[in-house]
């Protein structure tokens, strides 16, 4: 009899402890259920507003009005800078779960201990008739890295060596590519066709995590309002060819409304002016990059 009595008391104690735990869990559930969806929506909206209220003071740059007044392009033959070149396919996943496989070329100054020590990261897109190899062939990548910049050139899906796949969300593609490739607030260079990737990204991503934008007669400029252009204060270099009376002329008309832009026309040049007037293009790009203050973001 004593044995069974002790057993009963133990059972009672255990049941009591379990009951207290269950009761506490029920109280927590009731409290969560009592919070209305309106309260949750309000809290989420407040957090969103707080994120959007962050203001970045983008600088106005000191750039000459005319190309002839710009600083000459340095002779890289006099610069003893060794460059590391990396090429190959890279994969990255977007936040929506889609995987992309793209071909990438990268040049980095060997003078620095690691990639984050470079003066600035530069992301190069390309036009429809070209690829990342264009920037290699023109010497753009080697020139910029000799001057201290880390340069990443990407073959857009379906061009160059990147496989053809449907990119349904181009804002997401560019937004997620940048951190996946270790790019830290890069300068984004977008010629012609690649404007259909770059411009939606810079206008619709919040924020677009770039230091500056360089447009080379991009498409897609008519997709945004004049007010959107006026509100866009990220430093922008807009270059176009004098004889580009189609995409270049219509594009610069829209881009001229940008609030913090620096526009230059390359004389006697067509749509792909960076091919026919490479040295002048390099000079303008060099002056723009050198005018950007470091770490102002």
Residues noted as catalytic: 192, 244, 271
Residue tagged 């400029």 (tokens): 221
**The token pair that represents 112 in the structure block:** 């620095």
CA distance 254 to 221: 6
Q: Widest CA span of the chain, in angstroms?
A: 110
Dihedral sign computed on CA atoms, order 119, 147, 232, 228: negative
Measure the CA–CA gap between 63 and 293, rounded to whole angstroms. 12
Contact criterion met (CB below 8 Å) for 192 and 219:
yes
Give dist(CA 123, CA 253) in Å, integer: 25
**Gap between the Cα atoms of 15 and 22, Å rounded:** 11
Residue 118 · residue 51 · CB < 8 Å: no
Q: Is 168 helix (H, G, I), strand (E, B) or coil?
A: coil
Phi, psi of 54 (to 5 degrees): -65, 125
The Cα 202–Cα 191 span in angstroms is: 14
Strand 99-109 to strand 121-124: parallel, antiparallel, or no bridges (unpaired)?
unpaired
**C-alpha distances in angstroms, 111 versus 69, 79, 151, 184?**
31, 12, 14, 19
Which H helix or E strand runs over 281? Answer: helix 278-291
């Amino acid at each position: 009899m004593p044995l069974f009595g002790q057993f009963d008391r133990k059972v009672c104690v255990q049941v009591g402890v379990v009951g207290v735990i269950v009761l506490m869990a029920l109280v927590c559930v009731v409290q969560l259920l009592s919070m209305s969806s309106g309260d949750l929506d309000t809290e989420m909206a407040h957090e969103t507003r707080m994120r959007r209220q962050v203001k970045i003071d983008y600088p106005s740059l000191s750039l000459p009005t005319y190309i002839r007044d710009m600083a000459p392009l340095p002779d890289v033959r006099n610069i003893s800078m060794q460059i590391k070149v990396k090429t190959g396919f890279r994969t990255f996943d977007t936040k929506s779960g889609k995987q992309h496989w793209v071909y990438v070329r990268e040049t980095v100054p060997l003078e620095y201990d690691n990639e984050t020590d470079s003066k600035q990261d530069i992301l190069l897109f390309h036009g429809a008739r070209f690829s990342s190899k264009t920037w290699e062939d023109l010497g753009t990548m080697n020139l910029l890295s000799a001057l201290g910049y880390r340069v990443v050139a990407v073959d857009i899906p379906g061009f160059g060596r990147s496989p053809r796949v449907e990119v349904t969300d181009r804002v997401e593609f560019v937004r997620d590519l940048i951190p996946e490739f270790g790019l830290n607030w890069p300068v984004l260079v977008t010629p012609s066709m690649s404007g259909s990737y770059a411009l939606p990204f810079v206008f619709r991503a919040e924020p677009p995590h770039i230091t500056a934008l360089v447009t080379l007669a991009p498409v897609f400029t008519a997709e945004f309002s004049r007010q959107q252009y006026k509100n866009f204060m990220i430093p922008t270099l807009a270059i176009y060819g004098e004889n580009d009376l189609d995409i270049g002329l219509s594009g610069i008309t829209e881009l001229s409304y940008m609030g913090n832009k620096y526009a230059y026309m390359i004389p006697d040049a067509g749509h792909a002016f960076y091919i026919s007037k490479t040295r002048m293009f390099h000079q303008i790009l060099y002056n723009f990059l050198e005018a950007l203050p470091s770490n102002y973001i």
